Amino acid sequence: MNNIKLFLTDVDGVLTDGSMYYTESGDEFKRFHTYDGMAFELLRKAGIKTGIITSENTQIVARRAAKMKADYLYQGKRDGGKLAAAEQICTEMGITLAQVAYIGDDINCLELLKAVGLPACPANARAAIKKIPHIILLETHGGDGAVREFAEWILGQ
């Protein structure tokens, strides 16, 4: 087992396929995969705290985080806000960024991915993300269980 104490994920492009669906009345929909919900449960059972850090700010994400029993939820984090949120959680937990696993897919995740001990990205992440040294390039696309694949990798399953 590795030294990971905290598992963090982005939302759009990681927990979802990155698509945003809108109705005529302006309602927004996101598609989440059940495999990723189980990933949070497996990590929790292994004693690893979980969290979501996203640029978006929606009730959809708040409801999904609650359903998955995420320990931390930070929404609306832009311009370095993702790294600052992760640092705040680390301080609260008494750990370092080296003990954090994070999965992200786009340039707004770049700073945090470069800072954590275990970075990963879905197969369909942007090219700049795939070029990060030592990043784990997963086989699964965002929204199709990429978080589950990463969790299983961490847990050695």
Token readout for 136 is 């784990």
Is there a contact between 121 and 127 (Cβ–Cβ < 8 Å)?
no
Is there a contact between 9 and 100 (Cβ–Cβ < 8 Å)?
no
Feature table: binding site for Mg(2+): 10, 105
What whole-number distance in Å separates Cα of residue 85 and Cα of residue 80? 9
DSSP assignment of 116-131 = SSEEEE-TT--HHHHT
Feature table: binding site: 10, 12, 105
Feature table: binding site for substrate: 12
Is there a contact between 48 and 4 (Cβ–Cβ < 8 Å)?
yes
Token readout for 109 is 């995740």
List, in sequence order, every residue forming a beta bridge with 137; answer none if it has no partner. 121
Residue 51 neighbours by CB distance under 10 Å: 20
Q: Max CA-CA distance within the chain? A: 49
